[in-house]
Amino acid sequence: MSATIAELLAIRLNEALANTDFSSGLPEGFVARVEQAQNRQFGDYQSNAAMVLAKQVKRNPREVAAAIIESFEGGEVSEKPEIAGPGFINFRLQTGFLEGRLGGLLDDEEKLGVSPSGTPQTIVADFSAPNVAKPMHVGHIRSTIIGDSLTRIASFLGHHVISDNHIGDWGTQFGMILWGWKHLLNEDALEADPIPELLRIYREVNAKTKEDEALRDECKNELVKLQGGDAGNLAIWERCIALSRIGLQKIYDRLDVKFDLWLGESFYNDRLAPLVDSLLAADIAEESEGAICVFFPNEKQLADKPALIRKSDGGFLYATTDLATIDYRIEELKADAVWYVVGAPQQLHFDQIFRIAKRRGQNAELEFIPFGSILGKDRKMLRTRSGDTVQLADVLEEAVERALKIVEEKNPEFSPGEKKEIAEIIGIGSVKYAELSQFRMTDYIFDWDTMLALKGNTAPYLINAYVRTRAIFRKLGSDFEPGGTITFTADAEKDLALKLAQFAEIVPAVLSDFRPNTLATYLYELATTYHRFWEACPVLKEEGAVRETRLALCEVTGRVLRCGLGLLGIKTTEKM
RNA sequence: GCACUCAUAGUAAAAUGGAUAUUACGUCGGCCUCCGGAGCCGAAGGUCCAGGUUCGAUUCCUGGUGAGUGUACCA
């Protein structure tokens, strides 16, 4: 299947427009747009073209709409459009056309009507990026889950996506960890469970340095030795990273998040000095107060905000590493686009390095995809150093435990293994859906009950809709068999078929502003539409074409829900 | 100081210039002789303030008010 319904209608609408008596007066390059109807009482699709054009052609919008409709050929697709309100053109689809679309969806088992991007790109997706030697806290959930979902969607649309975990494996914190490793480490504890032990020594050293200046110097000295290539410190550092990765991997496995690359900050070490030199040579960077900076005198917002790329002591900074990373991604990974799923507080930093990249002539699309903060009950940011942050691993564990209780209550007859498996899918799915179903910029207050809610607009509601599609076929005793007649006899069937066909319009739209929540909303509406269909339309009691049609609707609904949830990184289960 | 975000029912969210602002939780009231009630149907409750642009503004612009974040050697 190629064109979406909106595209088909838009083609016909623009043909009609070309045949009006005012077609010569249209603005250069004007293209009328057709969108899903805001409110179904007005029709299935709508266009505001007449209102947009009214002024240009100096006529009343309703007259313009009437002229367009006069020459509109709906063909198999649409009934005669209606004019409504101030000049909306409303389309209602032909029943036969919708029946055909459903048939087309049945034949497109893999993509379900979604067309591949016409301009496939190589995209490097940078998300999650935790610091090593510290456990991921609840704040990492947003970057990880949003980034993973965008990656899945871009791949589904035919882009070549490289996910890269740009871990913080070289920062200042290693001074403290090295000192702690040498003076405070409990080897047995490290063997048993490395992450908590690494966290313990980091926290202890961090606390001590607050009141002990001499210790701060010692830590700094350890860091200098590491960066100077000291063999002992390097060995500790490598072991530290290996242990941390094992801990991180456990969480990624549980979340079902995969990375193609793990190129942390340390990977770019020997690229930093030449990079600074080249920026100096190109007159992009300059020396100021002993440091090397890039100034932005021509950008009003950045006029008093230089980016530092080398400290006065010769050390390099965050911006330096990120610039080297951009080079690598463009030159070695051949990226057409780089996506950074990073918290909104980093706005200025990315603004700066993107402008520097542009000045250097790099024209890959660099996208900063920010998200809001997860706040505590006091509306303050949850911070690592506040001491009482919620760890991500604990959130996931709690989510699964809560889900397990519900499963045990609802389905005591399931085997312990089944219960556990279902609880895992529902618990993890709930956490992901809570995140993905809201606009990413919204700050929200961390609350167990919100994040782990199992009723309402939540993952379990969607998964339950999927389970119901499967229950039909379980009851039937066989899988769906294609080839049946499709003919609609109830409004609930048409509503559902339309919703299913709109999957093809929603998925690409997610990437236009990186909003997985639009897909989540669509899936929620689809589940609701299916539940209504379920109430209104018995399936197995019917016979012949009615039954075949309804089985087809159940089958396609199941596929779209499974596929759509999959694009959000949420798994489905056959029963729950 | 400057910059960037954000402000929507009791609470939490959606609406990327469209029509009567959409959902969930909570509250109140209905629906199982019927394929899974983790469901369906119904009720009450609303865009921070003042201007502007527009046929049309929750959305864009200006100015307030309130909150958060960032702003030269952390990442």
The DSSP result for A195-256, as a single string, is: HHHHHHHHHHHHHHHHH-HHHHHHHHHHHHHHHTT-HHHHHHHHHHHHHHHHHHHHHHHHHT
Number of neighbours of residue A23 by Cβ within 10 angstroms: 15
SS3 label, residue A376: coil
pLDDT for A203: 84
- CA(A144)–C1'(B58) in Å? 30
> In the sheet that A307-310 helps form, which strands lie side by side, from edge to edge?
A285-288, A291-294, A307-310
User: Which nucleotide is at minimal CA–C1' distance from A461?
Assistant: B38
Q: Is the predicted pLDDT of residue A428 greater than 50, yes or no?
A: yes
- Mean pLDDT lowest among A169-173, A214-218, A222-226, A380-384: A380-384
Q: Specify the pLDDT at position A454.
A: 72
Interatomic distance A425 CA / B66 C1' (Å): 41
| pLDDT tens profile A4-18 | 999 999 999 999 999
Check residue A27 and report its DSSP letter. P
User: Mind listing the domains of chain A with CATH numbers?
Assistant: 5-93 (3.30.1360.70), 173-255 (no CATH), 392-567 (1.10.730.10)
CA A98 to chain centre: 30
**Does residue A537 contact residue A492 with C-beta atoms inside 8 Å?**
yes
As a rounded value in angstroms, the CA-to-C1' distance for A430 and B60 is: 36
CA A408 → CA A398, A411, A449, A450, distances in Å? 15, 5, 19, 21
Task: Name the residue with the least CA to C1' distance from nucleotide B36.
Answer: A468
Closest-approach nucleotide to residue A547, Cα vs C1':
B35
Dihedral of CA atoms A52, A55, A56, A62 in degrees, nearest 10, equals: 60
Q: pLDDT averaged over chain A?
A: 91
SS3 content of chain A, % helix, strand, coil (to 5): 55, 10, 35
Nearest nucleotide to A55 by CA–C1' distance?
B55
CA A430 → C1' B23, Å?
A: 17
Measure the CA–CA gap between A545 and A151, rounded to whole angstroms: 40
| B1 closest protein residue (CA to C1') | A304
List the one residue out of A320, A368, A364 whose CA is nearest residue A347.
Answer: A368
Tell me the pLDDT tens digit for each residue of A27-66.
Answer: 878 889 999 998 888 899 999 999 989 888 888 899 999 9
CA of A418 to C1' of B49 (A): 56
- Whether the per-residue pLDDT at A98 is higher than 90: the answer is yes
Task: Point out the nucleotide closest to A375 (alpha carbon to C1′).
Answer: B68
Nucleotide nearest to A52 (CA to C1'): B55
Q: In chain A, what's the furthest Cα-to-Cα distance?
A: 87
Please give the protein residue whose CA is closest to the C1' of the nucleotide B19. A85
Q: Which two structure tokens, joined as six digits, stand for A239?
A: 């072991």
Q: What is the pLDDT of residue A384?
A: 41
Contact A193, A153 (CB under 8 A): no
Residue A146 (CA) to nucleotide B34 (C1'), in angstroms, measures 41
Distance A502 CA to B10 C1' (A): 35
Q: Which nt sits closest to A318, CA to C1'?
A: B75
pLDDT in tens, A557-568: 999 999 999 999
* Averaged pLDDT, A429-433: 93
Measuring from the CA of residue A467 to each C1' atom, give the nucleotide at the shortest distance. Answer: B36
Quote the percentage of chain A above a pLDDT of 70.
Answer: 98
**CA–C1' distance A260–B74 (Å)?**
28
Span CA (A125) to C1' (B71), Å: 27
Cα separation of A497 and A504, whole Å?
12
- Nucleotide B69's nearest residue (CA vs C1') is A345
Rounded Cα distance between A543 and A336, Å, is 53
Percent of chain A with pLDDT over 90: 70
Is the CB of residue A289 less than 8 Å from the CB of residue A240? no
Give the CA-to-C1' distance from A442 to B50 in angstroms.
26
CA A124, C1' B63: Å apart? 42
- Cβ neighbour number for residue A394 with a 10 Å cutoff: 13
User: Can you tell me the distance from the alpha carbon of A558 to that of A463, in angstroms, rounded to the nearest whole number?
Assistant: 10
Place of tokens 């002024």: A55
Question: Residue length, chain A?
Answer: 576
Distance (Å, rounded) from C-alpha A568 to C-alpha A431?
Answer: 11
pLDDT in tens, A488-547: 999 999 999 999 999 999 999 999 889 999 999 999 999 999 999 999 999 999 999 999
Q: Which residue is nearest to nucleotide B5 (CA to C1')?
A: A344
CB atoms within 10 A of CB A404: 18
Q: Give me the pLDDT at residue A378, please.
A: 64
Nucleotide nearest to A550 (CA to C1'): B35
User: What is the 3 state secondary structure string of A420-482?
Assistant: HHHHHHHHHHHHHHHHHCCCCCCCEECCHHHHCCCCCCCHHHHHHHHHHHHHHHHHHCCCCCC
CA dist A52 and A32 (Å) reads 9
Residue A452 confidence (pLDDT) = 74
pLDDT at residue A346 above 90?
A: yes
Distances (CA, A) of A439 to A373, A442, A513, A571: 12, 6, 11, 21
Q: Exposed/middle/buried for A403, CB within 10 Å: 0-12, 13-18, 19+?
A: buried
pLDDT 10s digits, A307-331: 999 999 898 999 999 999 999 999 9
What whole-number distance in Å separates Cα of residue A78 and Cα of residue A89? 12
Q: What mean pLDDT comes out for the span A390-407?
A: 89
Nucleotides of B strand lying within 7 Å of any protein CB atom: 1-6, 12-16, 18-20, 22-26, 34-41, 54-56, 67-75
Beta carbons of A37 and A9 less than 8 angstroms apart: no
- pLDDT at position A385, please? 38
Residue-wise pLDDT tens digits, A245-293: 988 999 999 999 999 999 999 999 999 999 999 999 999 999 999 999 9
ipTM: 0.94
Give the nearest nucleotide to A35, CA to C1'. Answer: B18
